Amino acid sequence: MLDKDLNESPVRELVRRFLITFLLGVVMYRLGVFITIPGVDAAVLQGKVKGAGDNSALSQIIHFADMFNGGAIMNSSIFGLGITPYISASIILQLLTFSIPALKSLQKEGESGRRKINQYTRYATLLICLVQATMAAGALVHISDNGNPLVTMENKTLFIAQAALVITTGSMLLLWMSEQITKFGIGNGVSVVIMVGILSSLPAAFSSFEPDLPHYLGVFIISMVIIAGIVVVVQAVRRIHLEQQRRIQGNKVYGGAQTTLPLKLNQANVIPVIFASPIMVVLGFVIGHLAKDTGFDSLFAYGQPLYRYVFAALIIGFTYFYISITFDLFDLSNHFKQSGFFIRGIKPGKNTVDYLAYHLKRITFIGAIFLAIIAVLPEVLETNLGLSGRGGRFLMGGTGLLIVVGVSLDVMQKVGAFFLAHQYRGLGGIGGEGATAPAKKSTSGKRF
C-alpha cells in the first residue's frame, strides 16, 4: 500500500484519502446518528431531557455521553453507544498490559504481538457493547415524558433483545468504519470519529450569542487564546539526552550515538478527565438523592465551587495514577542498559530510575494542573460570556476542545509525513512523479 501511495501523485493520493475520510467519518457517521432504534420515539427522550433542565443529573449524564458521539443518545440512534465501548476496551487492555506479564511479553513481540492485542481489544469491545446495549435498552423501557412512553412496542422483552442487537451492530459497524479510515484515510479513525461527533455541537454554541459584533469578537479572541495554550502544552516535551557507550574493536570505533528521550508534558492526554467526569456525574446524582431537601444536595451540582475543586482534584489524582501504571521506569532503565545508552553523569540502574522519576513527577504535575484548568474553564467562563449548552462549553475549552486540537495536530503531522515520504522517495530516484530525474552528484562523485 505504501509503495502504491508513493508511486502516485501525492496531491491526488492525499485528496483520495481525504475523500474516504469525509465519506466514512462525516457522511455515513452523521447519517447513522439520525437513524432511530426501531420501536422508539426519540421526541419523548428529547422532551424529557429539556424538561429536566441543563443542570439535572439526567442531562449531565446524557450530555457527557453525547460529547463523544455527536448527539446519538439524544436521538436514540443505532450509534447510541458510539465508539466509547472501544475506548473503554482499549484503556482496560492498556492497563492490563502493564499489570499482566503474559500481555506485557506479548506487547514486546513486535507487530505480531500488537495484532493479537488488537484482536483481544475487539473481543472486549464486543462484550462491552452487548452488556451496555442491554442495559441501555432496559433503561429506555422505563423512560416516559408526561405519560408518553419512549418505547412504542408492546412486547418489552422483544424490544430489549432487538434494541441490544441493533445498538451492538451499530457500534461494531462504527468501529469497522474507523479502522477503514485508519487504513485508507487520514489520521486515526477512532480519533477522527470522536472529533466529528464533538464538532457537531459547535453550531449550538452560537444559538445563545447576543446579536452584537463585540460579543462575537470577544468569544473568538478568548477561544483562540485557549486553543493556542492547548497547542503549546500538547506539543511541549522535556527531552532527556542519552548517549551510547563507545567500544573499540580493532581500528574501528562503535557506538557513540546520541539521542533524546521525549517526556511529554501532557503524557496522560485526556484519559484522566474521562475517568473523573463520570465519577463526578455519579457523585452528584447520589448526593442529590441522599441529601435531598437538606441544603447539601446542590453542593456537587454543575457550576458550584465544590464541584470544581473535587473535579480538579480527581483529575490530578488520576493523572498520577495513569502515569504510574503505564510508564514503567525500571523497564525503561533496563532497556537503556541493554542498548548501551546512558544519561551523562547518571549511573545506570536505580540512579537512572530516580533521575527519570524526578523529572517525570515535575512535568506530570504541570500537565495535571493544565488538564484541571481546561476541564473547569467552560463552567467558569460560560456564565460571564452568556454561553449555554454543550456548544458554548466546547468553545471555552474542556475535554472536547482538547480532543479536537489534539486530533487536528495529529492529522497535520500525518499529512506532513505523507509529503515527506514522497520527497525522500523522489530523492532516492525510486518511482513516483518527479523521481525520474537523475540524482545530483557531489564534488566527490558520490550520490546523495
59-111 residue pLDDT tens? 666 666 666 677 777 778 888 888 888 988 888 888 888 778 888 788 777 77
Per-residue pLDDT of 283-332, as tens digits, reads: 777 776 676 666 666 666 666 777 788 888 988 998 988 888 877 788 88
Residue 127 confidence (pLDDT) above 90 = yes
Q: Are residues 201 and 224 in the same domain?
A: no
Residue 440 confidence (pLDDT) above 50 = no
Q: Is residue 293 one of the residues assigned to a domain?
A: yes
Q: Are residues 75 and 27 in the same domain?
A: yes
| Backbone phi, psi, residue 183, to 5° | -80, -45
Q: Is residue 400 one of the residues assigned to a domain?
A: no
Q: Are residues 301 and 204 in the same domain?
A: no
Q: Are residues 20 and 157 in the same domain?
A: yes
Q: Which CATH number does the domain housing residue 45 bear? A: 1.10.3370.10
Q: Is 165 helix (H, G, I), strand (E, B) or coil?
A: helix
| Domains in the chain, number | 2
Q: What whole-number distance in Å separates Cα of residue 145 and Cα of residue 43? A: 9
Give the end of a domain, one of 364, 386, 408: 386
Give the end of a domain, one of 185, 208, 231: 208
Which of residues 290 and 369 earns the better pLDDT score?
369
Q: Are residues 202 and 227 in the same domain?
A: no
If you average pLDDT over residues 220-228, what whole number do you get? 82
Q: Is residue 244 one of the residues assigned to a domain?
A: yes
Per-residue pLDDT of 16-29, as tens digits, reads: 889 999 999 888 99
Q: Are residues 127 and 24 in the same domain?
A: yes
Which of residues 192 and 215 earns the better pLDDT score?
192
Domain with 336, as residue range(s), is 219-386
To the nearest 10 degrees (0 to 180), the angle between helices 156-184 and 84-97 is: 70
Q: What whole-number distance in Å separates Cα of residue 196 and Cα of residue 175? A: 14
Give the end of a domain, one of 359, 386, 413: 386
If you average pLDDT over residues 110-135, what whole number do you get? 88
**What percentage of the chain has pLDDT greater than the value 90?**
7
Q: Is residue 108 one of the residues assigned to a domain?
A: yes
